[in-house]
Structure 1
Amino acid sequence: MRLKPVALFIGGFVVYALLTLAVLVFYKDDPAQMSWQHRENFNAKVISRYKLSGKYSQDDVTGRLGGPDITQAVQLNGQILQLMYYRTHRKLPDGITTEDECTALLFIDRQLVAIGDVAVNQYQQHVSNGDS
């Protein structure tokens, strides 16, 4: 009994499709294992999908993106404000991550409330006013 080339091709394609599906379903992206270029792209893609109407906790975000590249925090009137920066675009190839190469995420009491320049402005406003 000899298998026809078409049957072998179809069988091989099915095996390839199943392996690909298994990788997509079970493989989790790990930012800690990515090169800096891939991590920047990954961070930008994930952050662009966050909507403030969703309830994203700080644990949800750090679980997906890993630890931030830069962070600032303050406690005001019993609330904790944390500004977390994730690098999303490199400006200078100097090996140093700066705030202008990142996208900021503002958390108040561990809930995401603002993204990007709005997050930085809200954080600075709360800190300069001394209240939240």
Structure 2
Amino acid sequence: MKKLLLTALLSAPLLTGCVVAVSDGEVDHGWASDYNNNDWRHTQKMNRDKIAKLVLGTDYSSVVNTFSTPDFSESLEKEGAVYQVLYFATHSKHSDGKTTKDECTPLLFKDGKLVGFGETALKALL
């Protein structure tokens, strides 16, 4: 009995492991396990409704408070101005629980003010 207990105690550290999470550029909203659920559709519809009501010139902080956390965000400085781009899921192609940028609508801010949204606005910056 003592040998069995000693073997178990000495083997425990060898049985531990670690988990490594790797991001593939997608945001996992936990929908994959329940992708028949309509929550993601509801969220995307709400995002589309909010975007439709946006007014150019709105402060960055006001938009973030309205939408909550974006699915993706980027920022850069160009010609002395600071640009921020927030991406919100609006049109998923798959109900797989992952959101990619091509399933999002970008909101473009210049020096803390909303100056455009959608692919046209983003392409104008580039």
For the aligned pair, the TM-score class normalised by the smaller chain equals 0.5 to 0.7
| Counterpart position of 1:43 | 47
**TM-score, structure 2 normalization:** 0.64
> Within the alignment, does 1:72 sit opposite 2:74 as a pair?
yes
Relative contact order (alpha carbons < 8 A, sep ≥ 6): 1 or 2 greater?
Answer: 2
Q: Structure 2: state its 5+ residue gaps.
A: 1-38
SS of corresponding position for 1:94: coil
Question: Would you identify which runs of 4 or more consecutive aligned residues in structure 1 move more than 4 Å?
Answer: none
Aligned pair partner of 2:113 in 101, 111, 114: 111
Matches within 5 A, 1:17-36: 35-36=39-40
Counterpart of 1:118 in structure 2: which amino acid?
Answer: T
Contact 1:58–1:107 at 8 Å: present in 2 too? yes
**TM-score, structure 1 normalization:** 0.61
Q: Deviations over 1:38-80 (max 9, x none)?
A: 211111001011133xx31111100100121011111223321
Aligned length: 88
Q: Structure 1: state its 5+ residue gaps.
A: 1-34, 126-132
Instruction: Identify the structure with the greater helix proportion.
Output: 1
CA RMSD of aligned residues (A): 1.4
Whole-Å separation in 1 of the counterparts to 2:95 and 2:41: 11
Q: Deviations over 1:3-51 (max 9, x none)?
A: xxxxxxxxxxxxxxxxxxxxxxxxxxxxxxxx33221111100101113
Instruction: Identify the structure with the greater strand proportion.
Output: 2
> Within the alignment, does 1:122 sit opposite 2:124 as a pair?
yes
> Within the alignment, does 1:83 sit opposite 2:85 as a pair?
yes
Percent of matched pairs sharing the same residue? 34
Contact 1:83–1:119 at 8 Å: present in 2 too? no
